[in-house]
Chains A and B, each alone.
Chain A
Amino acid sequence: MDFDLTEEQRLLKESIDRFAADNARDPAAHGTAPDIWPQLAELGVLALPFSEEDGGIGGGPVETMIVMEALGRGLITAPYLPSVVLGGGFLRLGGNAAQKAEFIPQVAEGSLKMAFAQLEKGSRYDLYDVSTTAKRDGGDFVLDGRKGVVLGGDDAGLLVVTARTAGSRRDHDGITLFLVDAEAPGVSRRGSAAQDGTRVAEIAFDGVRVPAGRVLGEVDGGLPLAGHVVDVALAALCADSLGAMEELQRVTVDYLKTRQQFGVPIASFQALQHRAADMLVAVEQARSMAVYAAMMAEETDILTRRPAIAAAKAQVNRSGRQVGQEAVQLHGGIAMTWEYKAGHYFKRLTTNDVIFGDTDHHLRAVMQEGGLVEEV
């Protein structure tokens, strides 16, 4: 049992932390943010999770955690989660040799961005609730359906799409994953800005032809793979929220020391001190679970992995709510303004909360698996 980083991980952390600090998003700045994707590619972090034989760097979930924590701390909006963690995760864990050879180098060098088109009207957080259809037609499949709130969906070049090849809407079987060219005929996208400064898209598939070679994993058996990749992404999200919380907590404590009212720094009021202390407790609980999630993300036994990841997301969500709301309250009016950064951390925590499942959803998952503690 140890919580130390290896020498390589430490170096990674130093460089990505420095990068994130230098490129921290200034929410008050208007206009489009500079594109930092090439710099992330140059740093090597886009190649991080891929194995060396696939052209990557061979990092694991701890490396992903280090990167995501830094991105959260810097409020960075580059689509690392959709492209590298999700898209890359599908290629790593489900791609065949040809698919890996074709796409991983492009994702790793940053020339191709990916996104996961999964959510449908009414499906909320259930990955298996899929109505989009894929019908065989000769050697191809033809996709019809509509996906919403696709993270990073409007400038991705390659989409991973869940579609139903058998069964009915909420069946666990009969779901197939497809690699779909975002520019293919029949794909139409409507992009939108998101609360956290990232971009999302609604994507329609109207008779989109996808060759059988672009099926990811097994026909009709895509759900376990999707579940695993989403768990990897949940672990990454926990780290992103952790980074955001750490910074928000720090900013709040600094503010308490400088803001004067009644002739004294407001930090001298015990009512605020105790709430700030509770924020720290919440951050530390979240840190523990973000670490736990990273440790469990690559676990292939679903009965071990699922409740662990669900528990982590539930805790991180709960801590994130508390830290976000308290940070705004402890600041007073200034945190209500767009100009000031605290509110933007609050917003990032709020959107992270609902990505791939809110607290209720994950507590239900913990509950369904029978929980975490039994008599020995």
Chain B
Amino acid sequence: MDLRFTPEEIAFRDDLRRFFREKVPAEIRKKVAEGRHLDKEDIVTSQRILNAAGLATPNWPVAWGGKDWTPVQRYIFTEELQRAAVPLPLQFNVFMVGPVIATFGSEEQKRKFLPATANVDIWWCQGFSEPGAGSDLASLRTTAEKRDGKYVVSGQKAWTTLGQHADWIFCLVRTDKSAKKQKGISFLLIDMKSPGITVRPVITIDGAHEVNEVFFDDVEVPEENLVGEENKGWDYAKFLLANERTGIARIGLSKQRLARAKRLARETEAGGGTLWDDTDFRRRVAELEVGLKALEITQMRVVANQTKRDADKPDPASSILKIKGSELQQLTTELLLEVAGPYAIPAPDHEQPEGWNEPAVSPEWADAAAPLYFNYRKVSIYGGSNEIQRNIIAKAFLGL
């Protein structure tokens, strides 16, 4: 038993540290550090820098630009990327549709989509959830009917994150209405420019335009855009969701936020000294740090075990990481909110009325604290809500 990294792993880590800080523009990393919304440009720029260095898609097969890293190297990569406040590579591209196409797609699809996906020449969005299909995803009702060698898609997708930027959407659609719930679902790739698609923004409680509704009105999709086999989409979706959950703990990100909250607390005046002198505050920091350290080791245990596990067995560890990881992410945003204190009250610039041009009362970083806190309530809802994770632990692991 040994928790230390080898000298090679430390060198690997230090190279990445240097790379992230030297190559990814400081303005972009500052936005991430402050938890501000990123423009499309920011995400594309940052991912292209990674891609040029072969670092955008380490989780893909080597033949398609992946790395044959050890689990420990993967862990270090994710941790360092997050601690350096580099934007996460576009999840939909890198962790969702990319691996699905690489694993189940045709050669033609791989050639057409994978390089462009790695470089965000194609921006993907995820069309799984629907108004009536949230946790119970398999109850989805968007249909795709085969007509003259084409699929004709009708229905509505909900919660489509960053769909406003998307060139393509990967969708779960019902291709067999007579089959049992999970059986009649297929995985379709759809060009967002297709006639019949309407994207309607949905503004979230933090005032941001992050999610959308996407309507499909008899949208024609060429047959070759089906991934794998018809009516096997649920299997590919499960594969995708399992990928989504690895790295869901976002420990590097929480560490980065926590460290930042501590620095800001030392700079924030309170009680005649600084907020850091307040032992009640520091105690809560300590509590959070303890939980985070425990989760970090839990994550390391999972990583160290990855090579040995039977990949087909349900892994309760990923549910544990999801539950605790999301809770800690939320707690760190709560902590930042409390550091901002009264300065969390004013809304950020983009929520001010047109033409508003007043100097801010709050420190520059503080107006992002409340929106971030509001926004992060999402992390225990999506990716399989924390209640669903508890169901998984109870059923698959405890046998209840």
Contact B289 A285 (CB under 8 A): no
On whether the beta carbons of A289 and B297 are closer than 8 Å, the reply is yes
* A1 & B304 in contact (Cβ 8 Å cutoff): yes
With known contacts A253-B398, A273-B394, A276-B394, A284–B258 Cβ distance under 8 A: no
Chain A residues numbered 319-376 whose CB sits less than 8 Å from any CB in chain B: 363-364, 366-367, 371-376
Determine the residue in chain A with the shortest Cβ distance to B285.
A371
Give 20 CB contacts A-B under 8 Å.
A1-B304, A253-B398, A270-B391, A273-B390, A274-B390, A277-B319, A280-B320, A281-B320, A281-B323, A284-B320, A285-B294, A292-B293, A315-B294, A363-B290, A364-B286, A372-B292, A373-B258, A373-B259, A373-B262, A373-B289
Number of contacting residues on A, CB 8 A? Answer: 45
The answer on a CB contact under 8 Å between B393 and A285 is no
Query: Is B217's CB within 8 Å of the partner chain A?
Result: no
- Pair B304/A3 contact, Cβ less than 8 Å: yes
Q: Does A5 contact B (CB under 8 A)?
A: yes
Q: Is the CB of B259 within 8 A of A267?
A: no
Shortest beta-carbon distance, A309 to chain B, in Å? Answer: 12
| Inter-chain contact B1/A2, CB cutoff 8 Å | yes
Closest Cβ neighbor of B393 among chain A residues: A277
- Is B63 located at the chain interface by the 8 A CB criterion? no
Contact A311 B259 (CB under 8 A): no
Let me know if B393 and A1 touch, CB within 8 A. Answer: no
Asked whether A2 and B2 contact (CB < 8 A) given A257-B400, A277-B394, A373-B289, the answer is: yes
**Given A5-B1, A281-B324; A276-B291 close (CB under 8 Å):** no
Within 8 A of A (CB), among B1-33: 1-6, 9, 17
Chain A binding surface, main DSSP class: helix
Counting CB contacts under 8 A, is A194 at the interface?
no
Complex Cα gap A363–B284 (Å): 9
Q: Which of A272, A287, A371 is the most central at the interface, judged by chain B CB atoms within 10 Å of its CB?
A: A371
**Closest A-chain residue to B261, C-beta based?**
A373
Q: Does B111 contact A (CB under 8 A)?
A: no
Interface residue? A288 (CB, 8 A): yes
CB closest chain-A residue, reference B76: A1
A9 to B256 alpha-carbon distance, docked (Å): 36
**A281 to B320 CA separation, bound complex (whole angstroms):** 6
Residues in B neighbouring A215, C-beta threshold 8 A: none
Within the complex, which residue of B255, B323, B393 is in contact with A373, where a contact is CB–CB below 8 Å?
Answer: B255
Nearest Cβ on chain A to B111's Cβ, whole angstroms: 37
- Contact residues of B between 295 and 325, Cβ < 8 Å to A: 295-298, 300-301, 303-305, 316-317, 319-320, 323-324
Q: Are B398 and A311 closer than 8 Å at their CB atoms?
A: no
Determine which of A62, A295, A314, A374 lies in contact with B290 in the assembled complex, contact meaning CB atoms within 8 Å.
Answer: A314
A373 contacts which chain B residues (CB < 8 A)?
255, 258-259, 262, 289, 292
- A17-52 contacts to B, CB under 8 A, are none
A-B contact count (CB 8 A): 148
Asked if B17 and A376 make an inter-chain contact with CB atoms under 8 angstroms apart, the answer reads yes
Contact (A273, B391) CB under 8 Å given A291-B297, A292-B293, A375-B259: yes
| B-chain residues with CB within 8 Å of residue A364 when the two chains form the complex | 283, 286
B287 at the interface (CB under 8 A from A): yes
Taken together as a complex, chains A and B put the C-alpha atoms of A4 and B308 apart, in Å, by: 11
- Given the interface pairs A62-B1, A280-B393, A363-B286, the reply to whether A1 lies near B72 with Cβ below 8 Å is yes
In angstroms, Cα B387 to Cα A311, docked, is: 28
Partner of A1, one of B9, B317, B397: B9
B146 an interface residue at 8 Å Cβ cutoff?
no
Whether B287 and A274, one on each chain, are in contact in the complex, defined by CB atoms closer than 8 angstroms, is no
> B240-287: which have CB < 8 Å to A?
255-256, 258-260, 262-263, 279, 282-283, 285-287
Secondary structure dominating the interface of B:
helix
Q: Does B157 contact A (CB under 8 A)?
A: no
Q: Residues of A contacting B305 with CB < 8 Å?
A: 3
A289 adjacent to B294 (CB under 8 Å): yes
Q: Once bound together, how far apart are the Cα atoms of A261 and B264, in whole Å?
A: 53
Pairwise interchain contact A294-B262, C-beta atoms closer than 8 A: no
Asked if B353 is at the interface (CB within 8 A of a chain A CB), the reply is no
A247 at the interface (CB under 8 A from B): no
| B141 part of interface (Cβ distance < 8 Å) | no
A54 contacts the other chain (CB 8 A): no
Q: Which of A9, A256, A285, A371 contacts B324 (CB 8 A)?
A: A285
A181 close to B (CB within 8 Å): no
Q: Which of A257, A367, A376 contacts B282 (CB 8 A)?
A: A367
B353 to nearest A CB, angstroms?
36
Which residues of the other chain, B, contact A367 by a CB distance below 8 angstroms?
A: 279, 282-283, 285-286
Q: Is A256 touching B400 in the complex (CB atoms < 8 A)?
A: yes
**Distance (whole angstroms) from the CB of A69 to the closest CB of chain B:** 13
Closest to B298 in A: A288
B297 / chain A contacts, CB cutoff of 8 Å: 288-289, 291-292
Is A375 a contact partner of B400 (Cβ separation < 8 A)? no
* Closest residue on chain B to residue A316 by CB atoms: B294
Question: With the chains together, A273 CA to B383 CA distance in Å?
Answer: 20
Which of chain A's residues have a CB closer than 8 A to the CB of B303? 1
Task: Name the B residues within 8 Å of A295 (CB-CB).
Answer: 1-3
Contact with A along B175-210 (1 / 0, CB 8 A): 000000000000000000000000000000000000
Give A277 to B399 CA distance when docked, in angstroms. Answer: 11
Does B83 reach chain A (CB closer than 8 Å)?
yes
What residues of A have a CB within 8 angstroms of the CB of B279 in the complex? 367
CB distance from B327 to the nearest CB of A (A): 10
Whether, in the assembled complex, A278 has its beta carbon less than 8 Å from a beta carbon of chain B, the answer is yes
**Smallest CB separation, B114 vs chain A (Å):** 31
Check B400–A311 contact: CB distance below 8 A. Answer: no
Q: Which of B4, B297, B298, B389 has the most CB of A within 10 A?
A: B297
Bound complex: CA of A274 vs CA of B397, how far in Å?
12
Q: Is the CB of A363 within 8 A of B287?
A: yes
Task: Give min CB distance, B5 to chain A, whole Å.
Answer: 6
Q: Mark interface residues in B352-395 (1 if CB within 8 Å of A CB, else 0).
A: 00000000000000000000000000000000000101110111
Q: Is the CB of B1 within 8 A of A3?
A: yes
Q: Which residues of B contact A286 (CB under 8 A)?
A: 294
Closest chain-B Cβ to A364's Cβ sits at a distance in Å of: 7
Q: Are A276 and B2 in contact (CB under 8 A)?
A: no
Given contacts A285-B291, A367-B282, contact A257 B399 (CB under 8 A): yes
Instruction: Kindly list chain B residues whose C-beta atoms are within 8 Å of the C-beta of A267.
Output: 400
Q: Which residue of B lies closest to A253 (CB)?
A: B398
Docked Cα-Cα span, A205 to B400, in Å, equals 56
Q: In the bound complex, do residue A375 and residue B294 qualify as a contact, i.e. CB atoms below 8 Å apart? A: no
> Nearest B residue to A280 by beta-carbon distance?
B393
B293 neighbours in A (Cβ, 8 Å): 289, 292, 311, 315, 372
Q: How far is the CB of A207 from chain B (nearest CB, A)?
A: 42
Within 8 A of A (CB), among B203-252: none
Minimum CB–CB distance from A50 to chain B (whole Å) comes to 20
CA distance A150 to B29 in the complex (A): 55
